[in-house]
Structure 1
């Protein structure tokens, strides 16, 4: 008797992995869904996951790294995660996922689109095989948005001001997204500042390169004005484009590199 191969799909709280769940939930009845919960997510992310469960009638396994972000931060000497040192992804996203699969043979369905030029994978374990249904079927961003609209799930609420899922203090946030975090969730912005400043040995770490969050916030009007001009330019060039797509295009101009796939699909 052949050994059963598990089929798993990681949800990030973003549009692509959600659309993949919509696409596959009837095709693959035994598909296992999981979300790696850092406990540093936006409330909008949890609300969106609840919407997915309700609409699709699926169970989502919430996976966590037992020791938590603050303990891991201490283990790393207070050094904040960064694009160069993504210990949060490896410890709080990839490790819980690999523990969840264990030594079982598994197919991991990943929501990278056909119009994306990346093939990144979040695990290198030989028993986990990556499969890319969007690429196989030639599905692009417009298809993903259509799938979400037709499902009734729609887009996450945070897409009004942020184009990616992930922790509220994600270092891949653009300047405008940090400014909007301060406006939408001032309590979380204060927590992000505290992580920068609370180092008893006097070391300085910042979430964004070149300036602290306090310094960034003093430039709020400048950052918002620049963003509005870019949005006007974008909507003028494509007046029928949804605002969420225009926002994503504008924010991509300020991109700091490819985000972690485990967090942002």
Structure 2
């Protein structure tokens, strides 16, 4: 029997901070760091993972799904993933992880998976293990590390926040359906090729009768219309001004926008695997 310790990275803030935390507080553990690559990640994600490898002093294993997004889209009759049907998380994130640990568990290894759920996230739950040989630990919750503690960890390590936090919330996947409308506008501006790809997927889905569009209540074609973009910007600015009137300025965001856009729009039950 072998003891294995694994920690999944999303390319986001919390999981990176947990990796740094475990390296500093539990250097005796030989932790295997992994990233499940959907093939639809922002380029900023890969840049951040590269810098994180430098801080950790060891490589991050890339787990690639055995079937890509296009394959699974066909299996689901061209229906887009959505909050109601999160097949992208199941097939492109959880399935590769389960396939990776399966041989370890079959050999009788004891595998401990460390997940970056913070102490201030009572509404979140970790991955539910289906094997008695696989246990899940939540070090941040156990040790009382909250969002402020996570940011402090990243700043102290010299790693800082992922650069995409300047314009969107936690997911590094280009066309996550949990994005706010202002984030779709920013994706269109910063990564127009990714936005066009998302539009093409959406058009195919609609032709096949998909009940979902990427953004609730409208297609990306409609969202991208200049008048609609202006309205989205105006609505976002108004929401931001209302928040500024209620809270103290955040020194980490001189323009007053919160670290998580979710703070501005309210928490949602996002995919834990992607948004960490």
Q: Which residue of 2 aligns with 1:216?
A: 223
Q: Which residue of 1 aligns with 2:127?
A: 122
1:231 counterpart = 2:240: yes
TM-score normalised by L of structure 1 = 0.92
Q: Which residue of 2 aligns with 1:106?
A: 111
Contact 1:98–1:123 (CA under 8 A) maintained in structure 2: no
Q: 1:199–1:165: structure 2 CA closer, same or farther, 3 Å change rule?
A: closer
RMSD over aligned Cα, in angstroms? 2.0
* TM-superposition CA deviations, 1:179-238 (whole Å, max 9, x none): 110011111000000001125955254112211011122211111122223333434531
Where structure 2 has 5 or more consecutive residues not aligned to the other structure, the ranges are: none
Contact 1:8–1:106 (CA under 8 A) maintained in structure 2: yes
How far off is 1:146 after superposition? 0.4
Instruction: Find the partner of 1:207 among 208, 214, 235.
Output: 214
How far off is 1:64 after superposition? 1.2
Q: 1:154–1:192: structure 2 CA closer, same or farther, 3 Å change rule?
A: same
1:174 counterpart = 2:180: yes
Q: Equivalents in 2 of 1:99, 1:123: separation in Å?
A: 15
Where structure 1 has 5 or more consecutive residues not aligned to the other structure, the ranges are: none
Q: Secondary structure at the match of 1:45?
A: helix
Q: Equivalents in 2 of 1:203, 1:119: separation in Å?
A: 33
Q: 1:229–1:70: structure 2 CA closer, same or farther, 3 Å change rule?
A: same
Contact 2:36–2:64 (CA under 8 A) maintained in structure 1: yes
Q: 1:174–1:199: structure 2 CA closer, same or farther, 3 Å change rule?
A: closer
Q: Secondary structure at the match of 1:176?
A: helix
- Number of residue-to-residue matches in the alignment: 263
How far off is 1:105 after superposition? 2.3
Contact 1:111–1:134 (CA under 8 A) maintained in structure 2: yes
Contact 2:250–2:258 (CA under 8 A) maintained in structure 1: no
Q: Equivalents in 2 of 1:239, 1:255: separation in Å?
A: 18
Q: Which residue of 2 aligns with 1:131?
A: 137
Q: Which residue of 1 aligns with 2:170?
A: 164
Contact 1:94–1:123 (CA under 8 A) maintained in structure 2: no
Q: Which residue of 2 aligns with 1:84?
A: 84
Structure 1 stretches (4+) deviating beyond 6 angstroms? none
Q: Secondary structure at the match of 1:25?
A: helix
* TM-superposition CA deviations, 1:96-142 (whole Å, max 9, x none): 11111112321111111101113422343222211011111111111
